[in-house]
């Protein structure tokens, strides 16, 4: 039985686990027949940063591995045949560790990465390289009420901006350090365009700050900002580890895993023939 480890915590990671286990036949989340992948053991690993995560089907482990060396040891100990990095586009440390661990343990690695957002006519985007860059843009701008959607983990970058009022939306309540003037909405996507329009009006938002996370679950805020004529400060994605193959969709990952299985089968047959010819 082949063992696939999914570094998850994203919608894409959960959908991949559903496809591999056949759970999509019950949820309707996948695009295939929902029969799952025969002979595949699926383990999803979650970082444990959310108090009540939506758990994927299959085996689940929660918590870190102890860096690239710890992950490599886990891959060997649990006889992992393929590693899928389906973490958040901004989980740069985890992705770098996955690349190093896969290389040292000789486990095939594929990055499942949702495409980034692309501006359309009417958008007023201000791209920055980091959260600190976003804070600098806010400090230099004329705005007063900020819809900050970069996640609760990086709020310290904005803690010194006492002249602004922030609306933060996250699954769990933020912890210090964070801005002094802070309104918090505890919510989990996907979000609707009507809901985002109403939110911008209710809180009199005049600028939106977001990471270029991509995907459809949180994209309505961009459309709502465009309709309202609001600027959006967009934090660009960190550079991806070099030499790692990337897939945009779950279907591409399934095809890649199938190809690996075929290569392994061919290798086994060749080994058997060589032994028989001795």
pLDDT at 149 over 50: yes
pLDDT at 154 over 80: yes
Chain-centroid distance of CA 121 in Å reads 27
Q: What's the pLDDT at 36?
A: 61
Cα–Cα distance measured from residue 138 to residue 208, given in angstroms and rounded to the nearest whole number: 10
Q: What's the pLDDT at 273?
A: 57
Whole-structure pTM value: 0.86
Q: What's the pLDDT at 26?
A: 38
pLDDT-derived band at 123, boundaries 50, 70, 90: very high
Topology of 125-235 in CATH?
Answer: Rossmann fold (3.40.50)
pLDDT-derived band at 275, boundaries 50, 70, 90: low
Share of the chain above pLDDT 90, in %: 77
- Over residues 161-180, the mean pLDDT reads 95
Cα–Cα distance measured from residue 238 to residue 194, given in angstroms and rounded to the nearest whole number: 31
CB 196 within 8 A of CB 221: yes
Length of the chain: 278
Q: For 2-115+239-276, give the CATH class.
A: alpha beta
Share of the chain above pLDDT 70, in %: 88
- Over residues 116-138, the mean pLDDT reads 98
Q: What's the pLDDT at 278?
A: 57
Higher pLDDT, 35 or 116: 116
| 2-115+239-276 against 125-235: fold identical | yes
Higher pLDDT, 39 or 142: 142
Any idea where the domains of the chain sit in the sequence? 2-115+239-276, 125-235
Q: What's the pLDDT at 185?
A: 95
Q: What's the pLDDT at 198?
A: 98
**CB neighbour list of residue 227: distance below 8 Å, 6 or more residues apart:** 197
Across the chain, mean pLDDT equals: 90
pLDDT at 103 over 90: yes
Label residues 184-200 b or e (16+ Cβ within 10 Å = b).
eeeeebebeeeebbebb
253 membership: H or E segment, kind and range: helix 250-276
Q: What's the pLDDT at 43?
A: 98
């Amino acid at each position: 039985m082949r063992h696939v480890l999914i570094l998850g915590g994203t919608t894409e990671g959960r959908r991949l686990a559903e496809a591999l286990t056949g759970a999509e036949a019950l949820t309707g989340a996948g695009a295939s027949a929902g029969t799952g992948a025969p002979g595949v053991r699926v383990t999803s690993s979650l970082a444990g940063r959310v108090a009540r995560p939506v758990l994927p089907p299959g085996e689940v482990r929660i918590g870190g591995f102890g860096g690239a060396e710890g992950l490599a040891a886990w891959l060997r100990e649990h006889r992992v045949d393929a590693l899928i990095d389906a973490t958040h586009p901004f989980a740069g440390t985890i992705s770098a560790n996955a690349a190093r661990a896969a290389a040292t343990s000789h486990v095939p690695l594929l990055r499942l990465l949702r495409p980034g957002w692309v501006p359309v006519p009417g958008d007023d985007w201000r791209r920055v390289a980091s959260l600190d860059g976003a804070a600098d843009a806010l400090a230099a701008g004329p705005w007063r009420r900020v819809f900050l959607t970069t996640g609760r983990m990086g709020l310290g970058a904005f803690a010194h901006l006492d002249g602004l009022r922030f609306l933060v939306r996250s699954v769990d309540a933020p912890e210090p350090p964070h801005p002094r003037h802070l309104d918090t909405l505890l919510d989990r996507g996907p979000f609707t365009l009507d809901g985002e329009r109403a939110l911008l009006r209710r809180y009199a938002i005049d600028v939106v700050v977001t990471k270029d996370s991509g995907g459809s679950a949180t994209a309505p805020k961009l459309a709502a900002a465009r309709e309202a004529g609001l600027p959006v400060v967009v934090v660009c994605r960190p550079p991806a580890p070099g030499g790692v193959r990337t897939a945009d969709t779950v279907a591409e990952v399934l095809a890649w895993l199938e190809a690996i299985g075929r290569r392994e089968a061919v290798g086994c047959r060749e080994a058997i023939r060589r032994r028989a010819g001795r």
